[in-house]
């Protein structure tokens, strides 16, 4: 026997995992495609008969006794004929083919009912025409199930309502009856019953933009008009106009009160999402993510936007209170596509390819002049005595062209949706591959492969199984990290493409001013920095309907991530002094596993004029995270083949593992009277191992109410008007280590206690009052307004404590941050004709946040000027301020002199010493306190005055034009990168009159005592207002009539992303931020333009989408 052996007798578990996942997805996809080639029960049911010279009637009775099939036929069919049949474990079609062979009888199968017809007949038997059982499913236009839809036989009292899965069943219905489907906010539909036994219905909105069904945070699927708090839903139509690269980007600009900032512009990077402002002083403002019922905190960068059917955004504490201590930052819930969205017996195949290029947008300019002496056409190292940068460079190089490269972008997407003929089994399966190179020479960027399988199976009338599975694999080339700071460091006259003396590409020491800064292209070409990761998100649920008003459900959800990183700077790589480096290597691994088990029961029943929905829920959560890192320098081997840290001489390692569990109970009661007065209440109890041992159990809750005014008052032109109010409490959990005593560790030996434990550490709480209104009028407009007032109490902060405790710090519930938000949206159906429609939407938000309580000494976030102090806005930088008036410097005047004698305001508006005007010593003066120390003063506020977003969708016949634009007014960004740019444009004095030029010392970056490029000063805080065209697409749909049997639609599109930004901000992009987890802030809170950040770029592409 031939066997294949791998090294050490095993395959590394990670490779096994990936291979198994790929194989599983492949087999599932094959099984799905194969399964839809036949009918569900008719294929599955097996028969065994051995009957000779028996009447057809007796054969049919025997088949009915062995199966769930029932036969219908008219008197025209002679069932007294004799037949011979001998089958062993055959399906019904094979059996009936043998029975009716040689007769004039044919059959048609309708689920479990079989009609016998004469071969020339087209009408069904009278028994089937007259009385039958009709079943089906009711969904909205996005494919989401609609529970609570009323289904009645017109003119009778016979009727029912759909269950939580949108399913219904009506018995004893005569042929020719008219079924009436009605639902709040939806157009009533009437369907005449012909030969159908299964009728699926897609309900349409009654008014423009009204009444999507919400499934997140509520007792069961609920129309938006019957919810007492704000929840926004983004449908697939909006999402697919310009399919985003990832799910996080798909939300941007589509919901008021939502702020999304890329953590980096690098391909494959994630986004920080902030809903309705900051809820925490220390920690991330990212919301809880739910993907097909799986709660996770691992982000959205791996989720394919083309798989998404809808996104629900829960911004407030009332909306998110069902998720307790994980949800003060809000919730983003993603529902992916399912096979149940297509008709019974239908299979739909979608293929889409998009390909394009990425381009750098605005690049900060460098100076065209220097203060160094130029002789014989060459720049020397000697500084001009006047120190003014007005000597034009003989030659400067276009670093934009040399460093940046229009990288390719390609994505391929293939999906299959199918539904069995009896609608008992449906499947959605997709595969997607995306490659995004980015904009840097020689860097490969990111590659991502996704596999998705969703299945729903109705085991019986009472049992339903559902499962959703996503496997994602990504690889990143991270060599651009650090390259941007080296690019900004490059001299304006440095040629990045100059070869080394030996002819090898990219001379390392190209700079004279910052001679220790290496050529960024040399570093990219001579290093390795890469990472890869795999993620599995899986959900499996089992539903049991004992009666039509009661549902029990159990589910298991898990998110599993594993990844590794590798970096190498090989031995022999040159330093800028042309000596050889000894080399460096590092490797890292990380694993994360989240698991949630849910058991819940729901009750939904109408009592007279009261509709009731009740839900009780139990959740168990488990989370395990681990990481391992090892690195070393002074490599023993040259070249790029080094892969082991053991080949380095000086090694260091670190590792960590974190585990937490939680038990949670929740119950919801929602009642409405005559569909117009709505009341909802919720309570949840959480016990988490992250809470202090003495406060393990914590309570979260909400109450809400709504009044649908138009149900009481007949208001002409108003289709829907609702007033709503809610109060809710949600929370955030402490960091893993916060409740414990933490000691320093050196070489395995414990040292001093650094942090004192706290057994009374609670979660933080967001306690929010929200009021608002939603109105739909003139069948063209929809308007929503929300006001939110949130007190975010018990902030979890690491505060200094008395040394007598034995430690310097302790995590405490030590503060409150108050946030208020005004949000508004207006949708307008400008034109609605048969061949021409135009829809526009305007979104507005204004958010304010202030620290109202701080049980600690005011402080700056570690290493920043981000001020934390009671009574000030959250998001304020305290910077050194240059004096602009003589009153600012009165305390700096020498004794015996007046302020006018000693200081003067120069022609740039800064206070300088009068004696220095026009000399090489002229320099702006900073404001100081009375002790002579430079004073840190409030100088920059990151919070914008307001944000607006605008979308437009114009369709004429088969042509669609879509645009999304954003306007941010106010707010500031601290431009840190200009301080580390060699000779930025700011310094260029060429062409200025003699009395306007300033010496280099006026600008120099020389610490706190330097010029206007010195440390942390207010000149570097810039207005971040901008107007940005985020998305633009032009699409044309082709519906080939000659091929309609095979092709449903072909869509051709031209797409642009991040196309144009109008701003006065001098950096790469005003919509930038710095993610600093160790400092407790993310990029939405910390608007900091770093010199080593990968800039956000533009993308132009074309796409072809085909639906079969």
All residues at 6 or more sequence positions from 697 whose CB lies less than 8 Å from its CB, including other chains: 685, 686, 687
pTM over 0.95: no
C-alpha distances in Å from residue 992, one per residue of 245, 273, 369, 389, 987: 46, 45, 12, 10, 12
Of 268-272, 284-288, 827-831, 928-932, least confident by mean pLDDT is: 268-272
Of 30-34, 429-433, 578-582, 773-777, least confident by mean pLDDT is: 30-34
State residue 262's pLDDT score.
80
Reported confidence tier of residue 20, pLDDT bands at 50, 70, 90: very low
Q: What is the mean pLDDT of the chain?
A: 87
State residue 783's pLDDT score.
96
State residue 779's pLDDT score.
87
Q: Does the pLDDT of residue 140 top 90, yes or no?
A: no
Calculate the CA 667 to chain-centre distance: 28
Of 39-43, 125-129, 978-982, least confident by mean pLDDT is: 125-129
State residue 210's pLDDT score.
52
**C-alpha span between 180 and 173 (Å, rounded):** 13
The single-letter DSSP state of residue 733 is P
Strands (E), 957-1020: 959-969, 972-975
Mean pLDDT of 643-651: 91
Mean pLDDT of 19-40: 40
Mean pLDDT of 103-124: 73
Q: Is the dihedral of CA 804, 810, 815, 817 positive or negative?
A: positive
Q: Does the pLDDT of residue 1053 top 50, yes or no?
A: yes
State residue 111's pLDDT score.
64
C-alpha distances in Å from residue 967, one per residue of 134, 955, 1029, 1059: 53, 24, 9, 14
Q: Does the pLDDT of residue 1106 top 90, yes or no?
A: yes
Give the whole-number percent of the chain exceeding pLDDT 90.
54
Q: Does the pLDDT of residue 125 top 60, yes or no?
A: no
Residue with more model confidence, 251 or 772: 772
| DSSP per-residue letters across 773-834 | EEEEETTTEEEEEEEEEEEEES-EEEEE--GGGTSSEEEEE-EEEEEEEEEEEEEEEEEE-S
Q: What is the pLDDT of residues 753-797, one digit of tens each?
A: 989 999 999 999 999 999 999 999 998 999 999 999 999 999 999
Give which of 1030, 1024, 1040, 1041 is closest to 1083, Cα–Cα: 1024
Structure-token match 């980007």, residue found: 249
Mean pLDDT of 452-471: 94
Reported confidence tier of residue 39, pLDDT bands at 50, 70, 90: very low
Mean pLDDT of 972-983: 85
Q: Establish how many alpha carbons lie within 13 A of residue 28's alpha carbon, considering only the half-sphere containing its beta carbon.
A: 23
Q: What is the pLDDT of residues 373-423, one digit of tens each?
A: 998 888 888 899 989 989 999 999 998 889 999 999 999 999 999 999 888
All residues at 6 or more sequence positions from 1048 whose CB lies less than 8 Å from its CB, including other chains: 348, 1039, 1107, 1108
Q: Does the pLDDT of residue 16 top 60, yes or no?
A: no
Radius of gyration of the chain (CA): 34
Q: Does the pLDDT of residue 24 top 60, yes or no?
A: no
Of 114-128, 582-596, 1068-1082, give the range with the top mean pLDDT.
Answer: 582-596
State residue 1077's pLDDT score.
66
Q: Angle 339-342-348 (CA atoms, 0-180°, nearest 5)?
A: 80
State residue 515's pLDDT score.
87
State residue 184's pLDDT score.
64
Virtual torsion, Cα 284, 798, 697, 273, nearest 10 deg: -10
Reported confidence tier of residue 28, pLDDT bands at 50, 70, 90: very low
Is-contact 755 741, C-beta < 8 A? yes
**C-alpha span between 665 and 686 (Å, rounded):** 7
The single-letter DSSP state of residue 721 is E
**C-alpha span between 418 and 32 (Å, rounded):** 8
Q: Which domains does the chain have, with CATH numbers?
A: 40-128 (3.55.50.30), 131-202 (2.60.40.1120), 213-256+276-340 (2.170.130.10), 882-934 (no CATH)
Q: What is the pLDDT of residues 601-636, one digit of tens each?
A: 999 888 888 999 999 999 999 999 999 999 999 999
Mean pLDDT of 1027-1056: 89
Reported confidence tier of residue 295, pLDDT bands at 50, 70, 90: very high
Of 294-303, 336-345, 535-544, 804-813, least confident by mean pLDDT is: 294-303
Can you read off the two tokens belonging to residue 560? Answer: 């599993």
Our separate counts of H helices and E strands in the chain read: 13, 60
Q: In what order do the strands lie in the sheet with 294-296?
A: 232-235, 308-314, 331-336, 288-291, 294-296
Is-contact 160 235, C-beta < 8 A? no
Mean pLDDT of 1072-1076: 71
* Cα first-last separation, the chain: 47
By CB atoms closer than 10 A (0-12, 13-18, 19+), residue 136 is buried
Of 375-384, 441-450, 671-680, 729-738, least confident by mean pLDDT is: 375-384
Q: Does the pLDDT of residue 309 top 60, yes or no?
A: yes
Q: What is the pLDDT of residues 202-246, one digit of tens each?
A: 887 655 445 678 889 888 888 888 999 999 998 888 888 888 777
Q: Which residues of 278-311 are buried (b: 16+ CB within 10 A; e: fewer)?
A: bbbbbbbbbbbbbbbbbbbebbbbbbbbbbbbbb
State residue 9's pLDDT score.
30
Q: Does the pLDDT of residue 10 top 70, yes or no?
A: no
Give the whole-number percent of the chain exceeding pLDDT 70.
92
Give which of 604, 668, 559 is closest to 323, Cα–Cα: 668
Strands (E), 98-257: 105-110, 113-118, 132-139, 150-153, 159-161, 167-173, 178-182, 189-192, 201-202, 213-214, 222-223, 232-235
Q: What is the pairing mode between strands 1088-1089 and 972-975? A: parallel
Q: What is the pLDDT of residues 567-608, one digit of tens each?
A: 999 999 999 999 999 999 999 999 999 999 999 999 988 888
Q: What is the total residue count of the chain? A: 1108
Can you read off the two tokens belonging to residue 933? Answer: 């120390």
Q: What is the pairing mode between strands 132-139 and 201-202? A: parallel
Reported confidence tier of residue 75, pLDDT bands at 50, 70, 90: low
The single-letter DSSP state of residue 263 is S
Residue with more model confidence, 324 or 167: 324
State residue 702's pLDDT score.
97
Give which of 545, 515, 441, 525 is closest to 160, Cα–Cα: 545
**What are the two backbone dihedrals, phi and then psi, of residue 31, each rounded to the nearest 5 degrees?**
-65, -40
């Amino acid at each position: 026997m031939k066997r294949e052996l791998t090294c050490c007798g095993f395959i590394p578990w990670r490779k096994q995992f990936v291979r198994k996942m790929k194989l599983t997805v492949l087999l599932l996809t094959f099984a799905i495609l194969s399964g839809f080639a036949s009918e569900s029960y008719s294929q599955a049911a097996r028969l065994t008969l051995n009957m000779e010279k028996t009447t057809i009637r007796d054969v049919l009775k025997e088949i009915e006794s062995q199966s769930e099939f029932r036969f219908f036929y008219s008197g025209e069919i002679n069932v007294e004929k004799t037949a011979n049949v001998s089958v062993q474990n055959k399906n019904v079609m094979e059996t009936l083919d043998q029975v009716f062979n040689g007769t004039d009888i044919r059959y048609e199968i309708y689920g479990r009912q079989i009609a016998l017809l004469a071969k020339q007949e087209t009408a069904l038997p009278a028994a089937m025409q007259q009385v039958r059982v009709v079943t089906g499913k009711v969904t909205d236009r996005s494919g989401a199930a609609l529970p609570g839809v009323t289904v009645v036989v017109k003119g009778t009292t016979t009727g029912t309502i759909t269950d939580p899965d949108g399913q219904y069943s009506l018995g004893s219905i005569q042929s020719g009856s008219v079924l009436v489907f009605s639902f709040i906010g939806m157009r009533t539909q009437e369907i005449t019953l012909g030969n159908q036994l299964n009728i699926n219905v897609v309900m349409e909105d009654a008014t423009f933009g009204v009444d999507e069904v919400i499934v997140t945070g509520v007792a069961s699927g609920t129309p938006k008009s019957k919810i007492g708090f704000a929840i926004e839903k983004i449908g697939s139509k909006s999402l697919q106009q310009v399919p985003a690269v990832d799910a996080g980007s798909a939300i941007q600009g589509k919901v008021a009160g939502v702020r999304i900032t890329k953590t980096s512009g690098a391909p494959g990077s994630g986004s920080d999402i902030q809903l309705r402002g900051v809820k925490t002083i220390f920690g991330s403002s990212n919301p809880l993510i739910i993907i097909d019922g799986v709660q996770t905190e691992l982000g959205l960068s791996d989720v394919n936007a083309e798989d998404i059917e809808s996104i629900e955004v829960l911004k407030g504490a009332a909306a998110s209170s069902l998720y307790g201590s994980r949800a003060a930052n809000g919730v983003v819930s993603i529902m992916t596509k399912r096979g149940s969205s297509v008709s019974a017996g239908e299979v739909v195949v979608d293929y889409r390819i998009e390909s394009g290029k990425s381009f750098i947008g605005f690049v900060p300019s460098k100076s065209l002049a220097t203060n160094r002496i130029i002789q014989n056409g060459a720049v020397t190292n000697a500084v001009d005595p006047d120190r003014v940068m007005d000597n034009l460079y003989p030659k400067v190089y276009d670093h934009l062209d040399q460093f940046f490269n229009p990288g390719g972008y390609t994505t391929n997407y293939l999906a299959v949706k199918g539904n069995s003929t009896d609608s008992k089994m449906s499947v959605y399966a997709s595969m997607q591959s995306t490659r995004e190179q980015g904009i840097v020479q020689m860097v490969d960027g990111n590659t991502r492969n996704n596999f998705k399988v969703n299945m729903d199976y109705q085991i019986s009338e009472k049992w339903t199984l559902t499962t959703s599975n996503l496997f994602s694999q990504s690889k990143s080339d991270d060599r651009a990290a650090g390259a941007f700071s080296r690019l900004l460091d490059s001299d304006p006259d440095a040629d990045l493409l100059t070869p080394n003396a030996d002819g090898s590409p990219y001379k390392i020491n190209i700079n004279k001013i910052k001679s220790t800064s290496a050529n960024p292209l040399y570093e990219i070409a001579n290093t390795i920095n890469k990472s890869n990761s795999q993620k599995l998100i899986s959900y499996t649920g089992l539903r049991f309907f004992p009666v039509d008003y009661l549902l029990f459900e159990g589910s298991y959800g898990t998110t599993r991530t594993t990844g590794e990183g590798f970096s190498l700077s090989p031995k022999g790589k040159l330093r800028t002094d042309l000596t050889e480096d000894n080399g460096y290597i590092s490797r890292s691994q990380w694993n994360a596993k989240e698991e949630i088990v849910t058991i819940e029961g729901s009750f939904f029943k109408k009592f007279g004029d009261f509709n009731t929905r009740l839900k009780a829920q139990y959740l168990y959560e488990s989370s395990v995270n681990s990481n391992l890192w090892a690195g070393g320098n002074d490599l023993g081997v040259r070249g790029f083949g080094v892969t082991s840290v053991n080949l380095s001489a000086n090694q260091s390692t670190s590792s960590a593992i974190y585990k937490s569990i939680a038990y949670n109970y929740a119950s919801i009661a929602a009642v409405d009277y005559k569909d117009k007065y709505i009341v909802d209440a919720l309570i949840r109890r959480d016990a988490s191992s992250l809470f202090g041992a003495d406060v393990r159990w914590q309570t979260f809750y909400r109450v809400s109410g709504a009044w649908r005014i138009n149900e009481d008052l007949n208001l002409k032109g108003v289709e829907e008007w609702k007033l709503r109010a809610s109060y809710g409490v949600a929370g955030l959990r402490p960091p893993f280590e916060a409740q414990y005593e933490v000691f320093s560790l050196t070489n395995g030996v414990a040292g001093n206690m650094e942090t004192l434990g706290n057994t009374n550490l609670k979660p933080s709480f967001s306690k929010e009052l929200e009021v608002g209104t939603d109105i739909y009028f003139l069948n063209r407009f929809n308007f929503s307004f929300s006001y939110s007032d949130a007190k975010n109490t018990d902030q979890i902060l690491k505060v200094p404590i008395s040394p007598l405790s034995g430690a310097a710090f302790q995590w405490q519930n030590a503060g409150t941050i108050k946030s208020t938000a005004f949000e508004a949206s207006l949708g307008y159906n400008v034109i609605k004709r048969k061949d021409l429609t135009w829809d526009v939407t305007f979104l507005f938000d204004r958010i304010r946040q202030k620290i109202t309580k701080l049980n600690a000494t005011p402080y700056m976030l570690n290493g920043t000027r981000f001020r934390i102090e009671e009574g000030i806005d959250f998001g304020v930088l305290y910077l050194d301020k240059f004096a602009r008036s003589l009153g600012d410097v009165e305390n700096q005047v020498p004794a015996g002199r007046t302020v006018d004698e000693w200081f003067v305001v120069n022609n740039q508006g800064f206070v300088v010493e009068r004696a220095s005007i026009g000399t090489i010593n002229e320099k702006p003066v900073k404001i100081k306190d009375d002790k002579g120390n430079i004073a840190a003063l409030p100088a920059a506020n990151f919070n914008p005055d307001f944000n607006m977003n605008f979308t437009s969708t114009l369709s004429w016949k088969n042509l669609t034009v879509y645009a999304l634009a954003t306007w941010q007014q106010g707010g500031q960004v601290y431009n840190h990168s200009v301080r580390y740019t060699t000779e930025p444009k700011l310094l260029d004095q060429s062409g200025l009159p003699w009395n306007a030029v300033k010496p280099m010392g006026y600008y120099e970056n020389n610490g706190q005592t330097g010029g206007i490029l010195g440390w942390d000063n207010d000149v570097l805080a810039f207005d971040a207002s901008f107007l940005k065209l985020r998305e633009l697409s032009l699409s044309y749909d082709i519906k080939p009539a000659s091929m309609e049997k095979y092709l449903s639609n072909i869509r051709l599109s031209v797409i642009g992303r991040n196309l144009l930004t109008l701003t006065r901000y001098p950096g790469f992009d005003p919509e930038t931020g710095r993610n600093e987890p160790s400092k407790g802030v993310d990029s939405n809170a910390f608007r900091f333009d770093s010199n080593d950040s990968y800039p956000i770029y533009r993308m132009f592409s074309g796409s072809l989408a085909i639906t079969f």
